[in-house]
A and B are shown apart, each in its own frame.
Chain A
Amino acid sequence: MSTPTVKPKAMIQDNTRCIGCRACMVACKSWNDRPADHTDFFAGEGYQNPRDLDANNYTLITFNEVVTGAKPDWVFGRQLCMHCEHPACASACPTTAMFKTDLGPVVFDESRCIGCRACMQACPFIIPKYDYDSFAPKIHKCTFCADRLEVGLDPACATVCPTGAISFGDRDDMVVEAKRRIAAAPGTYIPEIYGLDEVGGTSVLHLSSVPFDQIGYITGLPKTPMPDLTHRWLRVTAPVFAVLYAVFGALNWIVRRRMRRQGHEGEHT
C-alpha cells in the first residue's frame, strides 16, 4: 500500500447537489459500527440532528436556513474529517497515534493513544471527538474509510450518495473536477473550493452555492500548514538546549571560581 506510485485520494463534497437525505450518515454509521444516539431538539441556527459530530457520528449533514434572494431556503452542508495534507492533529500527537497514510486518510491507532486529547485541541475544524463515558476512551473521527481504500473500495459515504454530491478519486483529478464544475456553472457555485488551500490543503474539497460561513463551516483559516507554527520552535530544541546548557555551565563555573577566591574553600557550592 505504501508504494511510491500510490496517488493520494480526495473527495468532493458538492453541497449544491445534496438533498439532505443523510444516506451518507447512515452508511458511515453502518460501516464504522457506531450505535444510535438519543438526540434532543435544540433552538437553531442549524436544524440538523444530531447537532454536532460526536463519538458515534463521524459525519453530519447540516441543515441551514439561508436567505437567498427574497426567500429563505434550505442549504445543506457537511461535516467530516478534512484529512489535511499537513494534519495539525497528527503533528500534535505525542505518540504518533494519529498519522496520515500515503493514500490520504488521517487515521488513529488506539494502541498508541494515551488519551491526552491534544489532537482535539489542535484540529482547526474541531473534528476529533472523544467518548468521555468510556472506561478506555478512544478518539473518534472519520477515517476516510482507510480500511476500504486499502482494498480498492471507495469510502462508504461516497458509494451511497444518490445524487452524486460525493465524488471520490485521485486528489489531482478531484481538484480539476471541482474547478470544472465551478467554471461550467458559475451561477450555481460560489467561486471557492473549501479545502483547496485551507491549512495547506485538505483531502476533502467542499463546493457550495452560498458562502461557507453561512452553512456552518469554519472560515478564515490560514492557507499555510498548521504544523509549521510549532515546527519552527520545536526544530531548534536541540541547539537551544546545547547553547543554554553551555551558557549556564559557564556562568556556574565563574560563580564557583569567584566563591573559591573569596575564601569559601571546602564549600563547593
Chain B
Amino acid sequence: MNWRIRLTWWDKSLLAIMAVAAVIAFVRFATGIGTIANINNAYPWGWWVGYGIMTMIAIGAVGFTITALVEILGAHRYHSFLRPAVLMGLLCYTSAITMLMVELGRPWMVWMVLVSWAPTSALFEVGWCAFLYLTVLALEFAQVPLEEAGWGRALRILRAIYIPIMLLGVTLSHLHQSSLGTLMALIPHKVNVLWWSDLLPLIFLFSAIMAGPAMAILEHLAAARWLGFAPRMDLLAGLARIEAWLVGLFLAFQMGDLFYRGAVDAMFSGTWLAVSFWIEIGFGLLLPLVLLLMPEVRESRRGLAIACSLVIAGVLLHRLNVAVIGLRVRHWETYVPSLGEIGITLGITAAALFAFGWLARILPIHEELPSPQASLRPATQPAGVLHGAQGVS
C-alpha cells in the first residue's frame, strides 16, 4: 500500500509547529520541567493537565460515544462516523499519553502504575483504564490498515474478538472518564464551590459524552472540506439533535446539582471565578443549546461548526476551572501557563491533526470517499465488524 501523501501548506504548518514543540520538549527533558513551565507548588497541575490530559481524554470520548451509538444503541445510520471516531479516539488518547510523558516528573517510572497497585487512588484507575482502552482502540482501528495490507489471518482474529473488545472499550471509557472527576472529588476544600460536587465523577462522564457527537460533527465538516466530499447533512442534523439533547440534559444536571448543593450565591457573587463559571455555562452550554435547537443551524455547516466548537471549548474551560482556575491555594500564588507549556500542547495537537490527515488520505476512513486502494481489493470482501468502508450505512 502507498503511505505517501502530497504535503499541503496545512500539513507543512503542522510539521513546523511540531518541530518547535520538539525543541521545547528537548529543553524540558534536558533541564527539567521548571525551565519551561510555570506550574508550581500551588498549582501542580496546570494547562498540561487541564488541556493536554483532561480535555484530550474528554474529547477522545468521541470514540466510545459513536461506537455506543452505532453498536450498542443500534443507530446504524451513523455507521460512517464510526471509523473517524475510533481514529480520533486513538489519536486523542495517544496525545494524552504523550502529554503525560512530558508532564510527569519521572516519566521513565510510569510503568509503576501497572505494577504497584493502589486501588484507593483514582489516578491508578484512570491509568489502568486508559492503558487498556488505548489497547482496545488500537485493536479496533488496526482492522483498517490490516484490511488494506491484506493480512487475512490477523484480520480474522481481530474481527472474531471485535464485539467483546468493543464492549470492553465502551465500559472502560465510562469508568475512567468518571474517575478523572473522582480525582478532583478528593479536594472539596480546594476546588471552588462552583465546581466541586459530590457528583464530579458523573459530571466528568456526562460532559465527556457530550463532547462525543460534537467532535464527530466537527470532524465530518472538516474532512468534507479538506478531503473534498459532500457532507452528509441529513446525518449531521441527526447528530446535532442528539447533541442538543446531551447539552440540554447536562445543563439541567449541572444546574440541578448547583441548586441542590446551595451554590447559587456563588454563581451570583460577581467574583472572577463566577465570571469564569458564567463563560463556561453561557458559551459552553446555553449558547450552543439555543443554536442547536434551531433547525436552520442544524442544517448549516457554519452553524454546526460554531455550535459544536462552543461545546468543545466549554468542556475545555470546565476542566481548567475544576483543575486549575477554581483552586483555592495560598492567596499570593498565581499561575498563568508559559509559552513553553502552550507550545508543547500545540505540538502534540498538531501531531494528532497531522496523523489524522495523513491516515485519512492513505486509508479508507471516510465512506464518502472512494477507497484509496479500491482497485486492489477483492470485490466480494466481507464487510468487517468494524465495517469495511462499504459496509452497512
Contacts and interface: CB of A to CB of B under 8 A. Distances in A.
Interface residues of A, number: 65
A222 B189 contact: yes
Contact of B117 (A96, A266, A268): A96
Contacts of B41: 52-54, 120, 126, 129-130
Interface in A98-144: 112-118, 120-122, 124, 126, 129-138
A248 interface: yes
A249 B171 CA distance: 10
A255 B71 contact: yes
Interface in B82-113: 104-107, 109-110, 112-113
A117 B44 contact: yes
B116 A112 contact: yes
Contact of A255 (B74, B121, B187, B383): B74
B120 A231 contact: yes
A138 B106 CA distance: 9
B34 interface: yes
Given A115-B107, A124-B190, A95 B391 contact: no
Give chain B's interface residue range (CB within 8 Å of chain A). Answer: 35 or more
A188 interface: no
**Residue of A42, A54, A112, A248 contacting most chain B CB atoms (<10 Å):** A248
Nearest to B127: A94
Contact of A113 (B33, B109, B201): B109
Interface string A213-225: 0000010111000
B33 A132 contact: yes
B154 interface: no
A237 B116 contact: no
Interface in A214-253: 218, 220-222, 226-227, 229-231, 233-234, 237, 240-241, 244-245, 248-249, 251-252
A269 interface: yes
A93 interface: yes
B45 interface: yes
Interface stretch (B162-170, B263-271, B292-300, B306-314): B162-170
A134 B382 CA distance: 56
A84 interface: no
A93 B118 contact: yes
A230 B120 contact: yes
B256 interface: no
A153 interface: no
Contacts of B190: 121, 124
B153 interface: no
Contacts of A124: 187, 189-190
Contacts of B8: none
Contact of A252 (B71, B107, B113, B332): B71
A40 interface: no
B135 to A, nearest CB: 16
B157 to A, nearest CB: 15
B383 A269 contact: yes
Nearest to A231: B120
B167 A133 contact: no
A122 B45 contact: no
A202 interface: no
Contacts of A116: 104-105, 123
Nearest to B41: A129
A181 interface: no
B104 to A, nearest CB: 5
Interface string B355-387: 000000000000000000000000000110101
B364 to A, nearest CB: 16
Contacts of B330: 52, 126
B183 interface: yes
Contacts of A244: 170-171, 174-175
A52 B333 CA distance: 10
B189 A234 contact: no
A231 B45 CA distance: 22
Interface string B37-60: 101111011000000000000000
A259 interface: yes
Contacts of A248: 68, 72, 167, 170-171
Given A132-B33, A240-B174, 8 more contacts: A54-B41, A91-B186, A92-B122, A114-B105, A117-B45, A124-B187, A231-B120, A233-B185
19 contacts: A94-B126, A95-B118, A96-B118, A112-B112, A117-B44, A120-B41, A124-B190, A126-B330, A133-B35, A134-B32, A137-B33, A137-B105, A222-B189, A227-B120, A230-B186, A234-B119, A244-B170, A252-B166, A259-B392
